[in-house]
Amino acid sequence: KTFLSEMDPPPVSSSRCFASMGELVARLGGKREITKVLIANNGIGAVKAIRSIRRWAFDTFQKDNVVHFVAMATPEDLAANAEYIRMASEVVDVPGGANNNNYANVALIVEIAERKGVRAVWAGWGHASENPKLPETLRSRGITFIGPDGGPMRALGDKIGSTIIAQSAGVPCVAWNGDGIRISGSSEIPDHVYQEASIKDETDCVAQCVRIGFPVMIKASEGGGGKGIRKVEEKDQVATAFRQVKAEIPGSPIFVMKLAKKARHLEVQLLADEYGEAIALNGRDCSIQRRHQKIIEEGPPLAAPPEVWAKMEKAAVALAKAVGYSNAGTVEYLFTTEDGSFAFLELNPRLQVEHPVTEMISGVNLPACQLLVAMGVPIHRIPDVRRLYGRPPFSTSTIDFQEEPRKAAFGHCIAVRVTAENPDQGFQPTSGDITEVNFRSTPDVWGYFSVDSSGLVHEFADSQFGHLFASGSDREHARKNMIMALNEISIRGDIRTTVEYVADLLKSHDYVDNKIDTEWLDGRLSKAASAAAAAQTKKDDDDDGASKKEASKKEEAASSSASSASSQQQGPTKNPGPEIAAALMQQEEQGPPGEHTMAAAHAALILAMRRQADNAHAYVETLGKGHFPNVGSLCSTTQRVELLFKGFKYVLDVDQTAPHTFACANATRKHLSVGGESYVEGSVRALSDGGSLITTGGRSRVAYAAAPPGQALRLTLDRKTYLFDLEYDPSTLRADSAGKLAKRLVEDGATVAVGQAYAEVEVMKMYLPLKVGPDGAGTLRWAKPEGVSLDAGDVIATVDLDAPEKVSKAKLYRGDLKTDVSGSGSRGEEKNNDETDKEEKGDSSGGNATNAALTLSEKAPPRLKLRSATSVLENVLDGFAVPEDQRRLAFVDFAAALKCDELPKGEFEEARAVLRGRLPPELESAFDDIAFPFDPEKALAILDSYIAEDASLAATTAILRSTLARYEGGGLPARAARAVLAFVRRFLEVEREFGDGASLADVVNRLRRAGGDPKRIFDLCRARCCGVDRGACVLELLFALSHQDMNKVDFAPALTELANLRDASSTPVALEAKKLLIQQALPSRDDLVARVGAVVDELAQEGGRPASTIIKEYLRTGLPMRDVAVHFLSSSSSSATDKTRRLKYVELYVNKIYEAHVVTDFRVAPGFDDDNDDDDDNVVAAWTFHS
């Protein structure tokens, strides 16, 4: 059984529905009612408290509004559209800025509690939750604090005080600066003892660090959540770390403790009441941390053996009882796996942010238990606790918690914190707007967030804004469930998150094998940083080597030039330049991974789509203002996109090949293309949420691209984030995120080295160092004063570089874009069977799986081939930059499809499928009776006969009739003629505007004054200015259509309009149209055979008109003869009549081809004998002529 937390708790056995809070408190043996609570917190803490208590209230009272929640809200939280503000029953405005103005301001909290008449205050975690003045002041005003009293909080909540109490009680502790201090008989720590255990100043800190031995941790006693803690590994780091800890938690005492190496961070969840009882509700393993802040938690802890874990729980309970602790708390330990020892770390007198882990494995709703304890309910009477110990939830029997075992944990739970941090920059906090938070809870995974899709993470907020929890029957099951959830979550906005990074952590071998410790994650980050530094060092060495080779090359060239005279006597000297250049190119590092190239291609497609849309908008806007737009730039279908990613510069040319389709090619390889560019084509459509739907190679992906401050572009593709860089400039030091310049670490004009920290910034209440980047050594000049607020991208300082010539330059990407993207796959996707079969067979038809238009023709039916080819050719006529290989393929498919006998049946059945069940059965049957090959003209006649009988069928069958009408008057030839005619008319839609030779500006102004649609004017300009292949496309289509096919439809009006075009660019098309018009004026072949046959027969008659008269009359008609020669000369008949007809045709033909001359003596050639049967098939003639 897997428990799913309070979001979906197990069935409440023997449950009761109470009418009021008073009835419940009386039933459970409590002392006081609490029905109005002030939430002195924000973010996910407030969300979790309200949600958990409301769920408990609904289960208990069948209504969720029993408790009235008053929430505090700063202007920043209101502007962020924080989730808890919408959930609260009542909202109170409080001052903004740092938390000491609001959520950590005890006086303000107490004042609001009194003014609003609340019965209790819930402070959660962080802010004022560990300030003993809050519970003490509230108690004095008669208001309950949902948490421990001030005394125990002061004793155990303070890290120094709790460590003194723990070591005095015999609990093992790590070495620290107060490890020799003991108290006895009381949990109150005298002030002089506390002062003795605190670090006095920087000098004392150095001395204690040396005494304890490095590495050590310098910690603020009131710190937490990764704030007020620094790891120090050597003496020189102590001063800086001490100052940072002191600045992060102002006024807090500071202590030093030994860093436990290879230790696990295990913690025990406590619940205690005001009657002196305390229990352990299992625990959690929080060993995965960065900067000592937890990032992944899980439970139950598996690192410690059961017998050791039992001792840890027992010690934690004893510690809580010793100081009279009440409500929820957590005891944290460091556990060493090598020897099985554990040492006390601290006790947190509050609820931990990761408490839902314990809820999911125990079934105990902790915020609800906090409320019940605050109302004076004994632990053994709390229903969830009784269920955990196998007791009826509302019975009254006592429980011996020391002896009675609780139920085993319900499976395993893994929790992941969702934080606004950049894992690529050491988990540096980020802030900004959030445009989407898309997460759906499942039976195995649930989560909650402090903001939604219209919120933001502001600079005063905690970096954590969400928490995910995955349950499973065991650890491996929970791990897989969490990975799936992280892969599916979508968070977009100006911030960066740790989602992708944590998903990779969960897949690592160390995590799977549970071989982790508190230094594991920081070790991974350190290794990554070291690898990057090593790569930079290697690059610098390579650059130095290349410089030396270049100098050597120049020396050789100079020497070669100086000795050229003597060299010529011995033969030409070989030029070393090209060989050296080739060798240097071969030594270049391997190109970027295919995944990176795929991201760059997708980014380029999105940018091109957006630029095209912006250009179209700008064109229409300019036109609306009465100005003539810049047609050359705004209507262009080709764009250059330059991107920097992971040290490579991508220079890509993106062509718009269709209204929503773009082709991306490597601009550096265009000269290598043969028969078409090596490109990646994809359809790109804008989504309403700001994303883009991109389809390449049969795979659709949703991508989001934005350009936040300080970045060139951030692309989210397949739930992975790719950050494209600005041009690297080490001479300008910028802020990576919003914050405050807390301290300058060097003077103005000081010399700084690579990797040196030059400033500290405060980001989300944390102090972070800023360091000089690679190649950034030089003299620093400050641009901002201390204390100033910073926005992302702000210039903090500039550097006069010592060696500007050594600044890293991105390598130019020279790879084959098509090959790299096709072979990259996404997230290790496997190729489908069809693609695998193609590669095994060596099939490269179409050349590219990323170009969908090229792969259609292989197996598609003729109707789909024709449709695809028609679309491509229409795009050519509309001025889009259709690649050459697609144009060639479109012409081939167009011609082949229009000659295929399956085309009429396919188009007919496609149109008929829409009308299934709406046609008369008799008509359906008549259609089915048409034999193959399908006769569309017969089908049209049948349809028209039914329409004549029932006129209502005309509207129903309009689509079907228009499909069949394409074949009217000649079947497939007529269909082909109509298809070509449609292209000619599409061409004329643009060209007729310029038929009188008008300029583009005149045409645009004329259309604008006439009220023409601006979108149509834009399309016309694009076709006119960018459609360089439009005329050639029309010519090729006309050439492919035979004279006989053209006569199947009325081509004359369109050809006449083409012939009358006077624009110079239309001259080739106009000339061809004139030729076709002349051909159309000629008779058909059958008519020509008949007319020539009549003349031949008349010439063969004896006693008729003179032959010269008959021949002259025929020549004046201008009719051709060559087209029908075969008909008259190929007869095999040996009759005298046929021989005579052949001879007379030859005589007429000779006069035709000698029309410019006078034939005077046409005769049968000598040797031609009418009676010679051997010459039956021969016509041998002779003639004389003169001018």
pLDDT tens-digit map of 714-726: 888 887 888 888 8
User: Which H helix or E strand runs over 435?
Assistant: strand 432-438
**What is the reported pLDDT for 931?**
78
User: Cα dist. 18→136, 373, 386, 625 in Å?
Assistant: 32, 18, 18, 71
Q: Is the peptide bond before 933 cis (omega within 30 degrees of 0)?
A: yes
Residue 830 CB: number of other CB atoms within 10 A? 8
* pLDDT for 1098 beyond 60: yes
Three-state SS at 897: helix
* pLDDT for 9 beyond 50: no
Name 589's Cβ contacts closer than 8 Å, sequence gap at least 6. Answer: 811
Question: What are the beta bridge partners of residue 464?
Answer: 419
pLDDT, tens digit (0-9, with 9 covering 90-100), for 296-325: 999 999 999 999 999 999 999 998 998 889
**What is the reported pLDDT for 95?**
94
pLDDT, tens digit (0-9, with 9 covering 90-100), for 411-439: 999 999 998 888 877 777 888 888 888 88
**What is the reported pLDDT for 1163?**
83
Helices 1000-1009 and 1014-1026, axial angle in degrees (round to 10): 170
Residue 318 CB: number of other CB atoms within 10 A? 13
pLDDT confidence tier of residue 534, bands split at 50, 70 and 90: low
**What is the reported pLDDT for 587?**
35
Three-state SS at 279: strand
- Stretch 1019-1043: mean pLDDT: 86
* pLDDT for 871 beyond 90: yes
- Stretch 376-400: mean pLDDT: 95
Does the active-site annotation cover 86?
Answer: no
Burial 973-988 (b: 16+ CB within 10 A, else e): bbbbbbbbbbbbebbb
- Stretch 746-772: mean pLDDT: 87
pLDDT confidence tier of residue 535, bands split at 50, 70 and 90: low
Contact (Cβ atoms closer than 8 angstroms) between residue 256 and residue 209 = yes
Name the residue with higher pLDDT: 326 or 13: 326
**What is the reported pLDDT for 582?**
36
Contact (Cβ atoms closer than 8 angstroms) between residue 1076 and residue 1038 = yes
**Cα 949 to chain center, whole Å?**
58
- Stretch 70-78: mean pLDDT: 93
pLDDT, tens digit (0-9, with 9 covering 90-100), for 572-605: 333 333 333 333 333 344 567 788 999 999 999 9
Q: What is the DSSP string of 227-264?
A: EEEEEE-SGGGHHHHHHHHHHHSTT--EEEEEPPTTEE
Give the burial class of 820: count Cβ atoms within 10 A of its Cβ; 0-12 exposed, 13-18 middle, 19 or more buried.
Answer: buried
pLDDT, tens digit (0-9, with 9 covering 90-100), for 1118-1152: 788 887 888 888 766 667 778 888 888 888 889 98
Contact (Cβ atoms closer than 8 angstroms) between residue 281 and residue 362 = yes
Query: What percentage of the chain has pLDDT greater than the value 70?
Result: 87
Which has the minimum average pLDDT: 262-276, 312-326, 371-385, 1075-1089? 1075-1089
CA-to-CA distance for 112 and 74, rounded, in angstroms?
14
H-type alpha helices, 125-278: 133-140, 150-152, 159-168, 191-196, 202-212, 238-248
* pLDDT for 628 beyond 90: no
**What is the reported pLDDT for 290?**
83
Q: What is the DSSP string of 674-704?
A: SSS--EEEEEEEE-TTS-EEEEETTEEEEEE
Helices 1014-1026 and 594-624, axial angle in degrees (round to 10): 120
Q: In angstroms, how far is the first alpha carbon of the chain from the final one? A: 112
**What is the reported pLDDT for 625?**
84
Residue whose pair of structure tokens reads 């065991």 in the numeric block = 474
**What is the reported pLDDT for 1081?**
73
**What is the reported pLDDT for 397?**
93
Query: What percentage of the chain has pLDDT greater than the value 90?
Result: 45
**What is the reported pLDDT for 783?**
94
pLDDT confidence tier of residue 772, bands split at 50, 70 and 90: very high
**What is the reported pLDDT for 1168?**
52
**What is the reported pLDDT for 568?**
37
* pLDDT for 541 beyond 80: no
**What is the reported pLDDT for 1143?**
86
- Find which of 558-562, 871-875, 1006-1010, 1053-1057 is predicted with most confidence, using mean pLDDT: 871-875
CA-to-CA distance for 944 and 960, rounded, in angstroms?
11
Which has the minimum average pLDDT: 597-601, 990-994, 1061-1065? 1061-1065
Burial 584-620 (b: 16+ CB within 10 A, else e): eeeeeeeebebbbbbbbbbbbbbbbbeebeebbeebb
pLDDT confidence tier of residue 847, bands split at 50, 70 and 90: very low
Q: What angle do CA 1034, 1039, 1042 make, to 5 degrees?
A: 125
- Stretch 651-673: mean pLDDT: 84
Name the residue with higher pLDDT: 15 or 807: 807
pLDDT confidence tier of residue 1099, bands split at 50, 70 and 90: confident
**What is the reported pLDDT for 553?**
53
Which has the minimum average pLDDT: 562-566, 669-673, 886-890? 562-566
**What is the reported pLDDT for 835?**
43
**What is the reported pLDDT for 576?**
35
CA-to-CA distance for 616 and 631, rounded, in angstroms?
10
pLDDT confidence tier of residue 94, bands split at 50, 70 and 90: very high
Residue 481 CB: number of other CB atoms within 10 A? 23
Mean pLDDT of the chain: 84
* pLDDT for 1069 beyond 60: yes
Residue whose pair of structure tokens reads 């003496």 in the numeric block = 235
Name the residue with higher pLDDT: 1108 or 400: 400
pLDDT, tens digit (0-9, with 9 covering 90-100), for 694-704: 998 888 888 98
**What is the reported pLDDT for 40?**
96
**What is the reported pLDDT for 917?**
86
pLDDT confidence tier of residue 709, bands split at 50, 70 and 90: low
Token representation of residue 1037: 């289509």
CA-to-CA distance for 431 and 1103, rounded, in angstroms?
110
Residue whose pair of structure tokens reads 């096709």 in the numeric block = 822
Q: Is the peptide bond before 300 cis (omega within 30 degrees of 0)?
A: yes
- Stretch 191-213: mean pLDDT: 93
Token representation of residue 358: 């314990």
CA-to-CA distance for 612 and 602, rounded, in angstroms?
15
pTM over 0.75: no
Which of 243, 284, 290, 350 is labelled catalytic? 350
- Stretch 1081-1109: mean pLDDT: 84
Contact (Cβ atoms closer than 8 angstroms) between residue 527 and residue 547 = no
Residue 1002 CB: number of other CB atoms within 10 A? 13
- Stretch 333-353: mean pLDDT: 91
Name the residue with higher pLDDT: 24 or 1147: 24
Name 1133's Cβ contacts closer than 8 Å, sequence gap at least 6. Answer: none
Phi and psi, residue 789, nearest 5°: -75, 145
Name the residue with higher pLDDT: 913 or 766: 913
CA-to-CA distance for 1036 and 1026, rounded, in angstroms?
19
Name 770's Cβ contacts closer than 8 Å, sequence gap at least 6. Answer: 733, 757, 758, 759, 760, 761, 796
